[in-house]
Each structure stands twice: as structure tokens, then as C-alpha cells.
Amino acid sequence: MNRTAFQGEKGAYSEKAALEFFDKGIELNPCQSFKEVFELVEQGTCSAGVVPIENSLTGSVHQNYDLLLKYNLTIAGEIYVRIVHCLMALKNIKLEGIKRIYSHPQALEQCQEFLEEAKDIETVPTYDTAGSAKILIEQNIKDGAAIASEQAAKDYGLQILKSGIESNHENYTRFLVLKKENPMPQKGGKTSIVFSFKDIPGALFKSLSVFALRDINLLKIESRPLHGSPWKYFFYLDFEGSLEETASRNAINHLKEITTFLKVLGSYPKAEF
């Protein structure tokens, strides 16, 4: 079975990420929520799931960081996708007649400069970029437009009023590929972990020092609230190297001596950007 779950409708950017990562030889399973993606993979209904984790303009997708902690899945890979937002509407509709623009909140944020220039037009948040395109067709909305991908316009038979409306054209989203289990790369690659520690002086410094002592390059650190314990945090960390490498294993074993909780989220090949 090579069935891959993604959040959104046909034409979503997550679908594009899945097709590019797996080279199109897969069966796709659209989901209404990120949580559903995690559930389908954990249950074995799907062999893999693809979710966004961060965008170069708007930052991290916090919900998916929380879901990585909750579900017993492993990160099997990553891929970067260039995001090009298009404004689309029903056939024969003019830009001057648009009163509302539908899209996912992150897409609306990424197109903020364009939207600020479009005075007197209401923005309507939806659950998905491609889903907003689907809404136009299903509800026959003649005074509305959607922000989605070029592929979504093709899939739903919409006309593109304007392409490349994102505020910054260096707009990329990093997607993670999730599986129940995955063989680690023998060398190189990237490892993601999450940990927490007692609130004592120098705890974070000591935690990060285990990597500096071994010349391991840190790629990202992200903090998230520890639910049920106000003002305490989990720390998500990406670093270069596989747990098949001695230096990485030693760093993790050293970190276990300092932290009160540690979970390895996965070792996987590092995507080219």
C-alpha cells in the first residue's frame, strides 16, 4: 500500500509536496485536518502523511509541532515547495466585481500587501487554499475570489485573475513526510528531537552545549508551551547528522542526563533547498 494522507482538497500545496516527494507514484488521501493526517498514518490506513511545518515568511505551523509530540510517528523525510499564490474566480468574472476573497489564514497573511491595496474587499478565512477554490464552484460565488495554487485553478475550472500575489516571492514551505517507522540514514541527513528540562539556571545552555562539544550544527530550535504547566516549555530541535553516527548518539545520550523528557522525532535525509 502506498497511500499518502495530506490536509486539504485536490490542488492543495500539501498535495503538490506529496507528489513531488514520492514522484507521483502514490494514491492520495485528502483530509479535513492535520490531526486526521496523523491519525490515518498511526492507524495504518495510510502508509505516509505529508504536513507543512514552517513557512519562510510566516514561520512555524504550531499545531503540527504539537501533533508531532502527541502521536507516535517518525519523520521520514522533508521537502521544500515554492509557494506561488494566485487570485482566481469563476469564468468571465472581472477583478472589479470582487467583494470577498477566500483562503487559508496563512495564505491571506502571505498576501497581505496585495490585500491592503484591494480596498473594500472582505477577506474570508477557510480551512484550505484549494478548499477556497472549491467553495467558489460549489456555491457559485460570482462576487468572490480565492487565493490558491495554479493547480487548484486547473482542477476546479477557475480563471486566474492575477498570479504571484504573495508579498515576497521568496516564499517557501517546508513539509514533513511522516511514517510509522523509517530506516535511519547511515550518515549525514538531519535529526529532529523534542525535549524539556527543569526550570533551573543554565538548563538550556547545558542542553545545547552537548551539540557544540561535538561540533554538531544546530539547524533550528522552536519552543512550545507545555500544556498544563504555565510558563514551561518543550523545545523542538533540528540538527545535522543521523543517529546512526556516533557523535549524534553520544550527544543524545548526554542530553538525556540533563533533560526530564526527550523524544526522537526522526532521522531522515536532508532536503536540498
Residue 175 known to be catalytic: yes
Looking at residue 69, its amino acid is L
Residue among 57, 34, 31, 27 at smallest CA distance from 174: 57
Helix axes of 246-258 and 203-212: crossing angle, nearest 10 degrees:
170
**CB environment 175-188: b (16+ within 10 A), e (fewer):** bbbbbbebebbeee
Q: Which residue out of 4, 173, 191, 259 is catalytically annotated? A: 173
Q: What is d(CA 159, CA 216) in angstroms, rounded to the nearest whole number?
A: 49
Q: Which three cell numbers stand for residue 232?
A: 514551561
Q: What is d(CA 91, CA 104) in angstroms, rounded to the nearest whole number?
A: 22
Q: Which residue out of 6, 38, 175, 235 is catalytically annotated? A: 175
Q: What is d(CA 63, CA 245) in angstroms, rounded to the nearest whole number?
A: 31
Q: What is d(CA 136, CA 124) in angstroms, rounded to the nearest whole number?
A: 12
Residue among 175, 166, 177, 176 at smallest CA distance from 83: 166
Residue 45 known to be catalytic: no
Catalytic residues: 173, 175
